[in-house]
Amino acid sequence: MLSVTMPSIPHVDIESLDHFDQVIAAGATSMAGWRVQSVDLSGRTSVLLHLSPMGSLFLGCPLEETAAVWIRDGGGLIFPAIPALPFDPYRGTLYAAEELYAGLSGGYEATPDAQIYAWSRQHDEKGDTSRTLAAALHDHSIADALHELPEGKPWIGVMGGHGIARASPTYKSAVLLGRTLARIGLTVATGGGPGAMEAANLGSSLASYDDAAVEAALTALAAVPSFRPSIASWAMAGLAVRRDFPGEGGVSIPTWFYGHEPPNVFATSIAKYFSNALREDVLLSRARGGIIYLPGAAGTVQEIFQAVTPNFYGDPATQIPMILVDVEHWTSRLPVWPLLQSLANDRPMAASLHLVDTIEEAAKLVTR
C-alpha cells in the first residue's frame, strides 16, 4: 500500500495588528500556516504583497482589494466579514465582563450581551441559514480561544442553581468554596450565570483576600440580592465589588441559550456560546479536577447525567470525581442520587460518586 506523508506546516495564530507586525519584523517571507482572525490589515497592503500567500487563512480581516486578490490568487483563503451582526464571529479571544456589559449605564438592553441575545432570538424564529452559520463560526472561535488558555492548574467545575440570592447563607458558603478551591491551586470553572455559579467565581477572585474582605464584598452585593427585577443594578453592584477586590475569578462558560440568566462579572475569562450543547460538553469535559453540584433544577440535573455518561463507560483511570451537595435535595426533592447508585453498581464509577450534606464537606473532599 502506498503511503503519502503530507508536509508539516507550522501553525501561527495572529489575532492582533501588533502580533502581525512582530511576525513581519522577525523576517517572515511566507504566510503558510497563518490563521489571521479579525485583524484590520487595510493599512498593510504593501507588506502583504511581499509575502507568499499559499496556505494562509484570513477570517474576517478588512483588506484592500489589491491585497485580497493577491491572497486569493496565491492560494490563500479569505472568509469575509459578515455584515449586520452584533458580534464578531471570528473573534480571537474570550470575553471579559466589561465587554459584555459595555454601555450598562444606559440599561441592560443597551449592552452587547443583551443585543446578542436579541439577535439569537431572531435567528431562532426565522431559521435563517446565514445566521446559523454566523453562530457556528462564533462558537468555533470561542472554542479555539478557550483551547489557547494557558495550561497548568486543573479545572474543577462548580454547578448549581441560578436562583441562590446573594444575601443567603448558601451563597456565602459557595463563595468560601470557590476561595478554597482557588487557594489549593485549582481553576474554578462554572456555567457563568448568577447564583451558585457567580458565588464560586467570586470566591475564586477573593482567594488572596482575608475574611474581612469577603464579608465586605458580600455586604455590598447583598444590597442587590438578585438579577430580578433589574439586571443592570445586579451587574453594576458586581462590577463595583470587582473593582474594589480585583482577583483571578477563574473561567465561566455561559450561553445565550439561557438568555434569562445574565453572565456573572467575576470570572476572568468568559467563554460564552450560542450552542448550549457545545457549552455543556466543553465545560464538563475540561473539569478534570472534578465537579461539585450544588442544589439546582433541570440545568444542573442535565449536567450531572452528561458527566455520568463518560464515567459509566470509562475505566478507573478516566473517572472524574462528582460531588453532590445537599442530601435531601438529591435524594428526595430531585431523587438523582438513587439512580446514580443504581448506574454505578459494580462499575468503576462507584468510587467517583460522593453525596455530602454541606458545601464545607465538599471542600474537604476536594482538598483531601
**C-alpha span between 261 and 235 (Å, rounded):** 12
Model pLDDT for residues 309-335, shown as the tens digit of each residue: 999 999 999 999 999 999 999 999 999
Using the CB atoms, write b or e for 225-236: b if 16+ within 10 Å.
ebbeeebbebbb
- CATH class of the domain at 155-289: alpha beta
What is the value of pTM for the model shown?
A: 0.91
Closest CA to 44 of 73, 9, 14: 14
* Residues contacting residue 43 through CB under 8 Å, at least 6 positions apart: none
Check residue 6 and give its pLDDT.
43
User: How far, in Å, are 114, 204, 302 from residue 86 at the CA level?
Assistant: 10, 31, 30
Check residue 260 and give its pLDDT.
87
Closest CA to 273 of 140, 111, 92: 140
Closest CA to 166 of 266, 310, 36, 251: 266
| pLDDT tens by residue, the chain, 368 residues | 444 444 556 789 999 999 999 999 999 999 999 999 999 999 999 999 999 999 999 999 999 999 999 999 999 999 998 888 999 999 999 999 999 999 999 999 999 999 999 999 886 556 677 888 999 999 999 999 999 998 878 999 999 999 999 999 999 999 999 999 999 999 999 999 999 999 999 999 999 999 999 999 999 999 999 999 999 999 999 999 999 999 999 999 999 999 889 999 999 999 999 999 999 999 988 998 999 999 999 999 999 999 999 999 999 999 999 999 999 999 999 999 999 999 999 999 999 999 999 999 999 999 87
Domains of the chain, by residue range, sit at 12-79, 155-289
**C-alpha span between 133 and 45 (Å, rounded):** 29
- Residues 196 and 159 sit within 8 Å (Cβ to Cβ): yes
Check residue 34 and give its pLDDT.
97
- Residue 317 C-alpha from the chain's centroid: 26
**C-alpha span between 226 and 194 (Å, rounded):** 8
